[in-house]
Amino acid sequence: MRFSANLGFLWTDLTLPDAIRAAKAAGFDAVELHWPYDTPAAETRAALEETGLPCLGLNTRNGTTNGLGALPGREAEAKAAIDEAVTYAREIGAGAVHAMAGFAEGRAADATFRETLAYACDAAPDLTILIEPLNRHDAPGYFLTTTGQAVVLIDALAKANLKLMFDCYHVQIMEGDLTRRFGEVRDVVGHVQFAGVPARGRPDEGEIAYDRLLPALDWGGPFGAEYKPGGDTGATLDWLRGWPR
């Protein structure tokens, strides 16, 4: 198995370039980002080139609404956020952009999110555009909450570069039955993330035996470690050294 360090949660005490270096030193195979925009893209790219780590992707800005993609009346801002993310991704050589939906509900929100996603897919045919269901406990009011809802959007838009971010942590809380659910949506999966459930802590603690689950999933790309270490990241990495690679 290969693993990606999500630097939105891991090594947050370091600058982004130093966090990339720390991920390399720890033995990760790739990195992924949340909101890197305060770090000049040239500095991020230099650290990636120095370490040889690929960057799998990054998020559009979350602001105070956990994204803008599904917010009626804020379409121009949502498209500007897409443009910003796409530009940064291209400058650092990242492969994907997670288009965050935001807190919204109803038909107008659905129509708005479809418009935003179509814009993103057409604006960046060279990148994967990801959508991620978030659970209602951590993100109450978030527009996208289940893999089924995501698949409906992906099928309706029929864009080859629109994919599902399958976050085992969120899917377990909302739907459970991870192995079966992953198999049902495998054709539209663009990335896989994981964290301990229910605390979103280190993945070798909690109710999911990831050392057995992840090898059972039909996924060839790196698995994204997106968990909250609750302190020193290095002290939580026994799983990375002990799981099969």
- The per-residue pLDDT for range 130-183, each reduced to its tens digit, is 999 999 999 999 999 999 999 999 999 999 999 999 999 999 999 999 999 999
Q: What is the value of pTM for the model shown? A: 0.97
Active site residue 115: no
Tens-place pLDDT, residues 183-203: 999 999 999 999 999 999 999
Res. 245: pLDDT tops 90 = no
Tens-place pLDDT, residues 72-114: 999 999 999 999 999 999 999 999 999 999 999 999 999 999 9
Distance from the Cα of residue 45 to its chain's centroid: 19
Residue 160, classed as helix, strand or coil, is coil
Q: What local confidence, expressed as pLDDT, does residue 140 receive?
A: 98
Res. 244: pLDDT tops 90 = no
* Percent of the chain scoring above 90 in pLDDT: 98
Is the bond leading into 54 cis (omega within 30 degrees of zero)? no
Rounded Cα–Cα distance for residues 149 and 16 (Å)? 33
Q: Which of 132, 175, 184, 207 is catalytic?
A: 132
Provide the residue count of the chain.
Answer: 245
Tens-place pLDDT, residues 30-78: 999 999 999 999 999 999 999 999 999 999 999 899 999 999 999 999 9
Q: What local confidence, expressed as pLDDT, does residue 85 receive?
A: 98
Residue matched to tokens 């179509």: 118
How far, CA to CA in Å, does 176 sit from each of 131, 135, 143, 148? 19, 11, 19, 13
pLDDT (average), residues 110-127: 98
Active site residue 226: yes
Res. 123: pLDDT tops 90 = yes
How far, CA to CA in Å, does 152 sit from each of 66, 125, 136, 162, 163? 21, 21, 19, 12, 11
Q: Spell out the domains of the chain, with CATH numbers in brackets.
A: 3-242 (3.20.20.150)
**Average pLDDT of the chain to the nearest whole number:** 97
| Cβ neighbours for 8, distance < 8 A, ≥ 6 positions apart | 32, 33, 34, 35, 59, 226
